[in-house]
Structure 1
């Protein structure tokens, strides 16, 4: 907390960002708010409900901004995220997008259901349905979505027939209520080419359309068809099967999405999430070491992009838990100077930090906690 309180002393000081204790997770509020407004306007124009995925930001402050802009509710990947965000503020509707299975987790789900309005959770197995039905037998009915496997076999009903069987199982329990289906094509989100990504999503959406038709024929027409993501939302809207978007990374725009052509005829969302690091050593010509390594930046999405504080095209290499290397031939780096990095993958990077340092240019205007950091259970 000492590091956080020292940074809090910089709030409101012009140029105070340059004095941050680093590495620091930095949020460009104006860019983020433009991203939020743009996605909200898109969803409204297309007649789609917006349910942003809070696994991206894990922040009640950002969730409130999304809700104020018109979002129906939020998604949470894990029960712990939902608990943390519900406890931190009023959220009208939360969808937990991963199955809640163990007895202790289901007991927590019952408690959360009693404390919140509009809670929903996905299911993909009849044993889970029966366990939830028993736990909620003496409580208000729990709303469920059937998770549909998009083909990667991570979670989800494996066939249209399995989805119909699950719907029948849910319908047999008064303590449960079927609201619709979830379909998230995670593998397709980061296909760099718009045309190739569109072709992949068209094929998968045709499959989803068939599942929806089978459920409807069996007497279970889905009220909610939830899914999509930042990489496919424009295509999803065009195809017209989803009626609720689970977009997440648009709010920040990490480098994984930055290298993708997200739109057919428009610019990508703006980078809003950054990590400020400081040069702590520069004794080798053309190279410097910064104080941000594996503990400050996710490593599953490539390497960060150097945005400021070094020549354009400066390379970055990870050099261990605490350090990263900057590579720029013939450049003389300034010892102690600050460098700004665009993060490779926003969700796990956020989970490495306690707080967002919210900035307007070089001024720190606020510090927000990462409300659900570490809530992976």
Structure 2
């Protein structure tokens, strides 16, 4: 894993979220090739929550994005994207009303929600009945085996799609197969193809019912298979900044570390060092010993809100340390600002959404 990332040569208050613009640009080129072209990419903005990154992607040919929250829907529309998919099903009237309002404010764009049962569909239909919203439609969220959201492949999915179509709202399908993460690429592809066989059988039925097979599918581990074996548009997961997990599991993708948390050694205690970045600086949603990797840090001993105790024999009090999170998505969520090393070699602060929802 290449942890040779540039550190700022200026006074910086730590902990700080750092982004390397050239690596983001490199990762776009790599990912577009793997996805079968930039026009097939539907990136998920929860992986970076950055307005400037979103604008950059729009300017470089990305025409659609997935989002997790209504604030992200608004950010994508403000960045000039012609299409945004709010990719999580909900029955929240307030949330759906906010997404519809965002669509009304951007009539030139297409705003798509997802549903996985009749309850969610009923809320969308109820709220869309008030006024005209020609640029709002829905996708059916299908569960390919992950067991989180989505209607199971088969009869229920077909029935729901027919109901969405009868409401005049059917835009196609949304399929996230994040449970397929086998390190052996042959096994991973075989599992993907098994799911595809079941989907193909289902789509024969929906096509005979007059429903189009427009799909947005995939995640970090499967999107190249979607590009290779289907005509779907693909969602390539956490590629913008990448993370220590993908650097370890998928070095063949050629992604570069695009973001890290800058920390400082603040204390030395007979074999352990204390860093000024704890669980408020690096996402705590992974097991403690795997929350980040860093050159010079051999082991994470303890982590609390503001500090991390680590075994790091080569580091000393005052040293700056780059911590590459295992889950950069939820780490980016902790910051309202990022210190960006620009393509021109300058350091500047740029806005992040932080925890805005």
TM-score (norm 2): 0.89
Deviations 1:238-260 (A, max 9, x none): 222x5111123111110121221
Report what 1:304 is aligned to: 292
**Inter-partner Cα distance in structure 1 for 2:314 and 2:244:** 26
Checking the alignment, whether the CA contact within 8 Å between 2:264 and 2:275 is kept in structure 1 is: yes
Report what 2:355 is aligned to: 374
Checking the alignment, whether the CA contact within 8 Å between 1:84 and 1:375 is kept in structure 2 is: no
Deviations 1:285-338 (A, max 9, x none): 3x211001111111334221113xx3xx6323442111112314xx35321110
**Inter-partner Cα distance in structure 2 for 1:199 and 1:42:** 18
Following superposition, the deviation at residue 363 of structure 1 comes to: 6.0
Deviations 1:175-227 (A, max 9, x none): x4211101101111x433322322222222222222222211222122x2101
1:186 partnered with 2:178: yes
Deviations 1:76-130 (A, max 9, x none): 01223213443x4322211100113122222212211201211111111122222
1:323 partnered with 2:307: yes
Checking the alignment, whether the CA contact within 8 Å between 2:64 and 2:82 is kept in structure 1 is: yes
Report what 1:292 is aligned to: 277
Report what 1:9 is aligned to: none
Report what 1:72 is aligned to: 63
Give the alignment of 1:63-212 within 5 angstroms.
63-86=54-77, 88-116=78-106, 117-137=109-129, 138-141=131-134, 142-173=136-167, 176-188=168-180, 190-212=181-203
**Inter-partner Cα distance in structure 1 for 2:36 and 2:260:** 29
Report what 2:257 is aligned to: 271
- Matched residue count: 345
**Inter-partner Cα distance in structure 2 for 1:228 and 1:299:** 25
Q: Decide whether aligned partners of structure 1 residues 318 and 196 sit closer, same or farther in structure 2, where only a CA change above 3 A counts.
A: farther
Checking the alignment, whether the CA contact within 8 Å between 1:15 and 1:363 is kept in structure 2 is: no
Report what 2:223 is aligned to: 233
- Structure 2 gaps of 5+ residues are 1-5
**Inter-partner Cα distance in structure 2 for 1:237 and 1:360:** 31
Q: Decide whether aligned partners of structure 1 residues 48 and 67 sit closer, same or farther in structure 2, where only a CA change above 3 A counts.
A: closer
Secondary structure of 2:35's counterpart equals helix
Report what 1:244 is aligned to: 233
Checking the alignment, whether the CA contact within 8 Å between 1:147 and 1:155 is kept in structure 2 is: yes
Checking the alignment, whether the CA contact within 8 Å between 1:233 and 1:245 is kept in structure 2 is: yes
Deviations 1:247-285 (A, max 9, x none): 2311111012122136xxx45311111111000001313
Q: Decide whether aligned partners of structure 1 residues 268 and 38 sit closer, same or farther in structure 2, where only a CA change above 3 A counts.
A: closer
Poorly superposed stretches of 4+, deviation over 3 Å: 14-18, 41-45, 360-364
**Inter-partner Cα distance in structure 2 for 1:144 and 1:211:** 19
Q: Decide whether aligned partners of structure 1 residues 48 and 369 sit closer, same or farther in structure 2, where only a CA change above 3 A counts.
A: closer
The Cα RMSD (Å) is 2.4
Report what 1:353 is aligned to: 335
**Inter-partner Cα distance in structure 2 for 1:48 and 1:225:** 14
**Inter-partner Cα distance in structure 1 for 2:73 and 2:342:** 29
Report what 2:3 is aligned to: none
